Chain A
Amino acid sequence: MLGVVFTEFMDMVEDRFSADMVDDIIDDAAVSSGGAYTAVGRYDHKEMVALVAALSRHSGLAVDDLIHAFGHHLFGRFVERYPVFFSEVHSPVDFLMSVETHIHTEVRKLYPDAELPSIKSQPIGATQIEVEYASVRPFGILAQGLIEGAMRHFETPCRIHREILETGAKNRVRFVIDMS
Chain B
Amino acid sequence: MSDIERYKKRLNRERQARLEAERLLEEKSRMLYEANEALKHTLDDLERRVADRTMELARFSYIVDQSPATIIITDLDGVVEYVNTAFCERTGYRRGQVVGQHSRLFRARNTTPDTYRELWTTVSSGQTWRGEFLTETVSGDQFWESAVISPIRTSDGTIVNYVAIKEDITERKAFERDLRLAKEEAEQAAKAKAVFLATMSHEIRTPMNGVLSMANLLSQSVLPDDETSLVSVIQQSATALLTIIDDILDFSKIEAGRLSIETIEMSLSETVESVGDLLCLRAEEKGLEFVIDLGTAIPDRVHGDPTRIRQILYNLTSNAIKFTDTGSVKIAVCDATGSPQPPPDGDAAASPPPRLLRFSVADTGIGLTPDQASRLFRPFLQGDGSTARKYGGTGLGLSICKALCDLMHGHIAVDSEPERGSTFWFDIPLHMVPPPVPPTPEIDISDIAVVAIGHAPSTMKTLSAYLRPGIVKDFRCFTTAGEALETVWSSPSETIKADVFLISADAVDADLERMKQFLVEMGHSPAFILTSSRAFISSLREASRLGFLSVLSYPIRRCRLWHVIAAAMNRGEWEPRARLTADRRPSYCPPSIDDAHAAGATVLVAEDNRTNQIVMQRLLERVGFAHDMAENGRDALRLYDAGPDRYGVLLTDFHMPDVDGFALTRQVRAREGVQGRARLPIVAVTADAFVGMEERCLLADMDGYISKPIDLDTLARTLERWVPQGLGLRRTAELNGDMTATAGAPASADRLDPEVFSPTRLTEACGSFNDAACRVLRSFLARTDDLLTDLEAAAPADRLDDIAAMAHSIKGSARNIGAERLGQVAADLQTAAEQADRDMVEILVEGLIISTDELKAAVAPLLA
Residues of A within 8 A of B (CB): 19-20, 22-23, 26, 34-41
Contacts and interface: CB of A to CB of B under 8 A. Distances in A.
B13 A38 contact: no
A26 B17 CA distance: 14
Contact of B20 (A20, A26, A41): A41
B9 to A, nearest CB: 6
A39 B18 CA distance: 10
A38 B15 CA distance: 10
A34 B21 contact: no
Contacts of B13: 26, 34-36
Contact of A36 (B6, B14, B25): B14
Given A19-B10, A23-B9, A34 B16 contact: yes
Interface secondary structure of B, over-half rule? helix
Nearest to A35: B13
Q: Which 7 A-B pairs have the closest CB atoms?
A: A36-B16, A38-B21, A36-B17, A36-B13, A38-B17, A38-B20, A40-B24
Contacts of A23: 6, 9-10
Contacts of B9: 23
Interface in B1-34: 6, 9-10, 12-18, 20-21, 24-25, 28
Contacts of B28: 40
A22 B13 CA distance: 11
A23 B1 CA distance: 11
A18 B513 CA distance: 182
A37 B16 CA distance: 8
A36 B10 CA distance: 9
Contacts of B20: 36, 38, 41
A36 to B, nearest CB: 3
A20 B24 contact: no
B10 A40 contact: no
Task: Give the residue among B12, B24, B25 with the most A Cβ atoms within 10 A.
Answer: B24
Contacts of B6: 20, 23
A37 B28 CA distance: 17
B11 to A, nearest CB: 11
Interface in B291-340: none
Interface secondary structure of A, over-half rule? loop
Contacts of A35: 13
Contacts of A40: 21, 24-25, 28
A23 B13 CA distance: 10
Contacts of A39: 21
Task: Give the residue among A35, A36, A39 with the most B Cβ atoms within 10 A.
Answer: A36
B24 A41 contact: yes
A81 to B, nearest CB: 16
Contacts of B10: 19, 22-23
10 contacts: A23-B6, A23-B10, A34-B16, A35-B13, A36-B12, A36-B15, A38-B21, A40-B24, A40-B25, A40-B28
A23 B12 CA distance: 12
A174 B765 CA distance: 116
Contacts of A36: 12-17, 20
B12 to A, nearest CB: 8
Given A23-B9, A36-B16, A41-B20, 13 more contacts: A23-B6, A26-B13, A35-B13, A36-B13, A36-B17, A37-B17, A38-B18, A38-B21, A38-B24, A39-B21, A40-B25, A40-B28, A41-B24
Contacts of A26: 13
Nearest to B27: A40
Task: Give the residue among A26, A38, A39, A40 with the most B Cβ atoms within 10 A.
Answer: A38
Nearest to B5: A23
Task: Give the residue among B6, B14, B15, B21 with the most A Cβ atoms within 10 A.
Answer: B21
Contacts of A34: 13, 16
Task: Give the residue among B6, B15, B17, B21 with the most A Cβ atoms within 10 A.
Answer: B17
A106 B13 CA distance: 30
B35 to A, nearest CB: 11
A37 B13 CA distance: 8
Contacts of B15: 36
A88 to B, nearest CB: 27
Nearest to B20: A38
A147 to B, nearest CB: 30
Contacts of A38: 17-18, 20-21, 24
Contacts of B17: 36-38
A41 B21 contact: yes
B811 to A, nearest CB: 108
A40 B29 CA distance: 13
Nearest to B18: A38
B16 to A, nearest CB: 3
A147 B444 CA distance: 134
Nearest to B31: A112
Contacts of B16: 34, 36
Nearest to A37: B17
A106 to B, nearest CB: 16
A23 B11 CA distance: 11
